[in-house]
Amino acid sequence: MVETIEWTDRGVVMIDQTRLPRETVYVTCRDYKEVAEAIRGMVIRGAPAIGVAAAMGVAIGIQKGEASLDTICDTLAATRPTAVNLFWAIDRMKTLARSLSSRPVEQQRALLIEEARRIKIEDVAICRAIGANGASLVPDGKVVLTHCNAGALATAGYGTALGVIRAAVESGKKIAVFADETRPFLQGARLTAWELQQDGIETSLITDNMAGHFLKSGRIGCVVVGADRIARNGDVANKIGTYSVAVLAKENNVPFYVAAPISTLDLTLSSGDEIPIEQRAAAEVTHVFGVPVAPEGIAVENPAFDVTPFRYVTAIITEKGVARAPYEESLTRLAS
């Protein structure tokens, strides 16, 4: 499995996800602004992974004494609006930094670096626990459909949705995966298909508009996706196109599972209507790898995420257990 992000003496090293699968290139962010740019530019992406990146961004900003804690945190928080893990990680670092303010500067720096590294290590353990909790839900001998990338690349390692798939395979289940290509940014084609291929897990890439056809075919045993933010009522924000898959799964009586860490829960929001949805550049829709596929000047909508209402979600798999409806009750219990 690839190393998504790493703290080193040279800086924060990340695999450049904009270059995959054609090239495996690592970039080194030497200050907090470069970390912020890497998050904004999708060099690193996926809710838990950008949380880890932001934590390391705070640590490197403080280590270099580049700006005030608030400036560093505000810059990192302004990169992407939807995945709540980003804000969760920044808050955790900020709270620690404030609690250390009376300590010598060198000690503050060392402890913040240690905390950022701990967030990364914890994330891998959390993904493994999500996998262990979800593996039994995956039907043996069937295909698992997934959307976007919720794998090692979207986390500090192992993955959430792909963690469930990996754990099911490790438990001896004979499963295959269908990966939606995930237009417009193609995380499914570029990242999920690549990751699963590296692991030797039988995987077929399908275009997004094929999902309904296969869900109706009876070949798909369940859908497992990740999440960027989950509201108190169980509404799930995830990559654009997730909602369509969920509706099609319900129509065809296929269980729809969401795999996510507790840090993806936003219990301050009563429903998914309150989740901010990132709008991205028109060029992602009008162009594919720089080649125009639409008439010049055409109006474009490009929301990066959608919200799946809780009634389509069969269960939410977390590191602390599996939540089922009514979600307000089950999620609050798991988060406490």
Shorter beta-carbon distance to ligand MRU: residue 83 or 254: 83
Binding site for ligand MRU (CB under 6 A): 45-48, 83, 148, 150, 154-155, 160, 187, 226-228, 238-239, 304
Shorter beta-carbon distance to ligand MRU: residue 66 or 208: 208
Q: How far is the CB of 107 from ligand MRU (least distance, A)?
A: 33
Whole-angstrom Cα distance, residue 256 to residue 146?
A: 10
Buried b (16+ CB within 10 A) or exposed e, 165-199: bbbbbeeebebbbbbbbbbbbbbbbbbbbbbbeee
Question: Is 228 in the active site?
Answer: yes
- Closest residue to ligand MRU, based on beta-carbon distance: 226
Q: How far is the CB of 300 from ligand MRU (least distance, A)?
A: 17
Nearest CA to 239 out of 160, 147, 311 is that of 147
Shorter beta-carbon distance to ligand MRU: residue 47 or 96: 47
Shorter beta-carbon distance to ligand MRU: residue 233 or 263: 263
Q: How far is the CB of 104 from ligand MRU (least distance, A)?
A: 37
Q: How far is the CB of 165 from ligand MRU (least distance, A)?
A: 12
CA-to-CA separations, 236 to 16, 145, 228, 271, in angstroms, rounded: 27, 17, 8, 9
Q: Of the listed 31, 228, 266, 306, which one is catalytic?
A: 228
Shorter beta-carbon distance to ligand MRU: residue 58 or 150: 150
Q: How far is the CB of 232 from ligand MRU (least distance, A)?
A: 19
Q: What are the phi and psi torsion angles at 73 (to 5°)?
A: -65, -40
Q: What positions carry a catalytic annotation?
A: 228
